[in-house]
């Protein structure tokens, strides 16, 4: 079984709001002192793929990214986690890239590298939180889609996955080829690569492709995209908290109860 995991390199989403800055002209976050990391849910998706490989060693796990040269670091990390192959589609664009365009790039790349039995995505990017690329890539590849999965295994002619939907947990099955978006759960906390594997990852090849080779017009990523992000801003917070004072916790609690009632929502 060949699993392709689509990953994106992002500015560390754990940057606290006090240090978070944006560039309103470029309409993107400013990196500042933050690290570049694999987007949170994408790293969980890698873990899900590698767990399949742990059980069935013939599984091939390919990490695929669409991003600038710096995104090779994300692929090195994936290789250090013991993904088998790494592919990068090159772009020097920064800022928001339209999800419909990104989906076309990923789908074309997956076809060019010989297809996949399973394509995994994080449930949403840890930058723009759009949750569109997985769905749209599945459409482009005409694959069925399972969203919000936390783990999967290979079964006869398909896969079985556990997912967390609106109505709670369920186990679902689908025939391959199939696409899944992965959400975080204790079961897919990403593994920490071993030092030896980190060293070896630096010697492994990374296949690089260009949009030209894929026959894709880069304009679909922004100028000719169906959606334009017109504005990015940090909303002003003029929140005033009323701290309830009192001699004892009990007194505070009684006053708080009155104050909650005064909100008139109960």
Within residues 77-136, the interface with another protein by CB under 8 A covers: 99-100, 103, 126-132, 135-136
**Interactions with another protein, residue window 239-258 (CB under 8 A):** 239-244, 248-250, 252-254, 256-258
Cβ–Cβ under 8 Å, residues 12 and 112? no
From the list 79-87, 111-119, 200-208, 221-229, the region that binds another protein by CB under 8 A is 221-229
Asked if 230 interacts with another protein (CB under 8 A), we say yes
Nearer to another protein, 157 or 202 (CB): 157
CA distance 108 to 110: 6
Surface-to-core class of residue 184, CB atoms within 10 Å of its CB (0-12 exposed, 13-18 middle, 19+ buried):
middle
**Interactions with another protein, residue window 1-60 (CB under 8 A):** 13-17, 20, 22, 27, 29, 40-41
CA distance 80 to 86: 11
* From 30, 192, 219, 261, residue interacting with another protein (rule: CB under 8 A): 261
Q: How many residues does the chain have?
A: 266
From the list 30-38, 53-61, 181-189, 195-203, the region that binds another protein by CB under 8 A is 181-189
Contacts 24+ apart (CB under 8 A), 192-195: 193/77, 193/80, 193/81, 193/82, 194/80
Query: How many amino acids of this chain bind another protein (CB under 8 A)?
Result: 83
From the list 49-57, 68-76, 79-87, 163-171, the region that binds another protein by CB under 8 A is 163-171
Q: Nearest-CA neighbor of 9 among 61, 49, 66?
A: 66
The residues that bridge with 168 in the sheet, in sequence order, are 165
* From 53, 162, 191, 204, residue interacting with another protein (rule: CB under 8 A): 162
* From 6, 81, 86, 178, residue interacting with another protein (rule: CB under 8 A): 178
Q: Nearest-CA neighbor of 137 among 104, 159, 112?
A: 104
Between β-strands 60-67 and 145-155, what pairing exists: parallel, antiparallel or unpaired?
unpaired
* From 53, 173, 207, 218, residue interacting with another protein (rule: CB under 8 A): 173
CA angle 105, 109, 113 (to 5 degrees): 180
Minimum CB separation of residue 23 from another protein in Å reads 11
Asked if 73 interacts with another protein (CB under 8 A), we say no
Minimum CB separation of residue 244 from another protein in Å reads 5
* From 148, 152, 201, 209, residue interacting with another protein (rule: CB under 8 A): 148
């Amino acid at each position: 079984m060949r699993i392709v995991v689509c990953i994106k390199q992002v500015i560390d989403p754990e940057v606290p709001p006090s240090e978070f800055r944006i560039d309103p002209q470029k309409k993107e976050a400013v990196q500042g002192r933050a690290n570049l990391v694999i987007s949170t849910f994408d790293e969980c998706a890698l873990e899900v793929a590698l767990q399949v490989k742990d059980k069935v060693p013939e599984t091939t796990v390919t990490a695929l990214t669409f991003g600038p040269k710096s995104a090779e670091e994300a692929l090195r990390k994936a290789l250090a986690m013991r993904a088998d192959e790494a592919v990068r589609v090159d772009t020097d664009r920064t800022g928001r890239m339209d999800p419909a365009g990104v989906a076309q790039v990923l789908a074309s790349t997956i076809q060019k590298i010989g297809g996949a039995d399973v394509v995994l995505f994080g449930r949403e990017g840890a930058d723009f939180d759009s949750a569109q690329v997985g769905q749209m890539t599945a459409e482009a590849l005409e694959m069925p889609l399972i969203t919000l999965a936390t783990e999967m295994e290979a079964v006869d002619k398909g896969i079985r996955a556990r997912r967390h939907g609106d109505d709670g947990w369920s186990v679902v099955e689908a025939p391959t080829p199939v696409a899944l978006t992965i959400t975080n759960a204790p079961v897919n906390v990403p593994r920490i690569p071993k030092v030896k594997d980190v060293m070896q990852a630096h010697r492994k090849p990374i296949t690089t492709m260009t949009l030209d080779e894929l026959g894709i017009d880069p304009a679909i990523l922004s100028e000719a995209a169906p959606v334009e992000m017109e504005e990015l801003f940090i909303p002003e917070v003029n929140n005033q908290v009323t701290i309830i004072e009192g001699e004892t916790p009990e007194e505070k609690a009684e006053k708080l109860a009155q104050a909650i009632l005064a909100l008139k929502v109960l």
